A = this chain, B = another copy of it.
Amino acid sequence: MNAAPPLPVPAQPAPRMTRQRAAVVEALDGLDDFRSAQQLHEELRTRGDSVGLATVYRTLQALAEAREVDVLRNDEGESLYRRCTRREHHHHLVCRVCGRTVEIDGPTVEAWAAKVGAAQGFSDIDHTVELWGTCADCRA
């Protein structure tokens, strides 16, 4: 449990462009649903752009910090990554069968979260809001 000061980001030194980083980004661009680091690693191997597993993890982590990809945790606690269309804050509706993802805009929830938090005397309110369901195609 540690309190990190809010975001006046120290402006990271911009990562070098390497074959590996490019491959990861490209793979993510070609996919439309959330994938785990392991799945991405496999995908890359299949494509022939083999990249070390540790590197896949490091790259995804970096991309996530740079807000280039979104991260969420599945039921098992695994991290799943996805290159999202909108860079602004948003949520997701994910099919728990096939992983199909829809980006959701939730002004209602944002407001609600902020209000509730403040009402209880909490500050620096942050929220986790994800929706899971079975998409039409996966409806047996």
| A129 touches which of B104, B117, B128, B139 (Cβ 8 Å) | B128
Flag A1-26 by CB within 8 Å of B: 1 or 0 each. Answer: 10100000000000000000000000
The quantity of this chain's copies bound in the complex is 2
**A135 touching B121 in the complex, CB below 8 Å, given contacts A77-B79, A96-B1:** yes
Query: Is the CB–CB distance between A112 and B108 below 8 Å?
Result: yes
List chain A positions with a Cβ less than 8 A from chain B: 1, 3, 73, 77-79, 93, 95-99, 102, 104, 106, 108-109, 112-113, 116-117, 120-136, 138-140
26 examples of A-B residue contacts, CB within 8 angstroms: A1-B97, A1-B98, A1-B99, A3-B96, A3-B97, A3-B138, A3-B140, A73-B77, A77-B79, A93-B122, A102-B122, A106-B112, A113-B131, A117-B133, A120-B133, A121-B135, A121-B136, A122-B133, A122-B134, A123-B134, A125-B131, A126-B133, A127-B130, A128-B128, A128-B129, A128-B130
